[in-house]
Amino acid sequence: MFNSILVVCTGNICRSPIGERLLRNAFPEKKIDSAGTGAMKGLPADPSASRIASNHGLSLDNHTAVQFNSSLAREYDLILVMEKSHLEQVSSIAPESRGKTMLLGHWLDQREIPDPYRKSDEAFESVYKLIDRACQLWACKLTG
């Protein structure tokens, strides 16, 4: 049903790269990428995000931040965002994609995933666990 998934956050250097890589591990046969509504274009993953992900056996190597836009939105069957404000931003940038855009935390009682940018490693750890759990639930729903 969903052969391609785009994971979206704000800067595309913390949350969405983690979600992208976790979903790629769950669905190696699908096209899974990430972008940001206010991407820090061209930057690698945040060092704290990379460190915490690495502690969990997940590599964010070779990630490069990409700006979300309407042409990118058209390439994906499902767009997963971190916050309700991202739902609005995605809908504003690409109105036709509203029907295929959902919160990554949808199966976590519509929970938003907070931005850990410039916060402590503990904040990144907490966010990593939320993203991991949300991705596990999406994997169950999309395969079951």
Q: Catalytic site residue 15?
A: yes
Q: Catalytic site residue 115?
A: yes
CA-based nearest residue to 19, from 35, 3, 30: 35
Residue 122 half-sphere exposure, CB side, CA atoms within 13 Å?
Answer: 0
Select which of 51, 111, 115, 132 is catalytic. Answer: 115
Q: Catalytic site residue 21?
A: no
Q: How far is CA 40 from CA 43, 51, 67, 68, in A?
A: 6, 19, 8, 11
Select which of 15, 21, 24, 33 is catalytic. Answer: 15
Mind telling me the catalytic residues? 9, 15, 115
